Amino acid sequence: MKKIVFTAIIALSVLACTNEKESEISTDLINNPSTASTSNTEIDKDNLPFFEFEEDVKDFGQITQGESVKTSFKFRNVGKSNLLISSAQGSCGCTVPTWPKEPIKPGEYGNIEVVFNSEGKSGLQNKTITLVANTIPNTKVIALKGEIVAPKSN
């Protein structure tokens, strides 16, 4: 008897759910005009921060396989507001950037430190570092290049 009552309750619940009118999903929830589109919001590009790097590409020359290279990309904020770098990502695990977490004020300098580990690599290399910041466009790509040669055997 309990099985019949339990089965009947489940069947009625399923029927009640299928009789309800399906609600429509609206895109209004994801249409945020102030972030997703600039058509409704005027952005004053003249007052934004802007990167100016001394060098966008660093050539580390020729190194022996297994060596690590450390270099620094010096930049200046030539914009009119604080520059905030939210992330820096190397194109592979062998390229590890470190960036300033504090705001770079207009006219001030900053450094992106990059360590490249050549372990397991050979030949010509071109590695990129993608910076994400409060600039337009919001990404900036800098790069390392060089050649890795096999170690000399004795």
pLDDT digits (tens, 9 = 90+) for 53-66: 999 999 999 999 99
Question: For residue 136, is it within any domain?
Answer: yes
**Which range of residues forms the domain containing residue 130?**
48-149
Say whether 38 sits in a helix, a strand or coil.
Answer: coil
Question: For residue 120, is it within any domain?
Answer: yes
* Strand pairing class (85-90; 139-149): unpaired
- pLDDT score, position 27: 42
Half-sphere exposure of 138 (CA within 13 A, CB side): 7
Question: For residue 134, is it within any domain?
Answer: yes
**Angstrom distance (rounded) from CA 56 to CA 16:** 64
Q: Is 55 or 7 the better-scoring residue by pLDDT?
A: 55
**Angstrom distance (rounded) from CA 100 to CA 85:** 7
**Angstrom distance (rounded) from CA 64 to CA 46:** 46
Whether pLDDT at 29 is above 60? no
Q: In whole angstroms, how far apart are CA 80 and each of 9, 47, 94, 106?
A: 67, 5, 35, 5
Whether pLDDT at 102 is above 60? yes
- pLDDT score, position 33: 40
**Alpha helices per DSSP H over 80-120:** none
- pLDDT score, position 36: 42
Question: For residue 22, is it within any domain?
Answer: no
Question: For residue 38, is it within any domain?
Answer: no
Question: For residue 12, is it within any domain?
Answer: no
Question: For residue 117, is it within any domain?
Answer: yes
- pLDDT score, position 98: 98
CATH number assigned to the domain comprising residue 74: 2.60.40.10
The answer to whether 132 and 86 are in contact (CB under 8 A) is yes
Structural domains in the chain (count): 1
Say whether 32 sits in a helix, a strand or coil.
Answer: coil
pLDDT digits (tens, 9 = 90+) for 47-100: 899 999 999 999 999 999 999 999 999 999 999 999 999 999 999 999 999 999
Question: For residue 73, is it within any domain?
Answer: yes
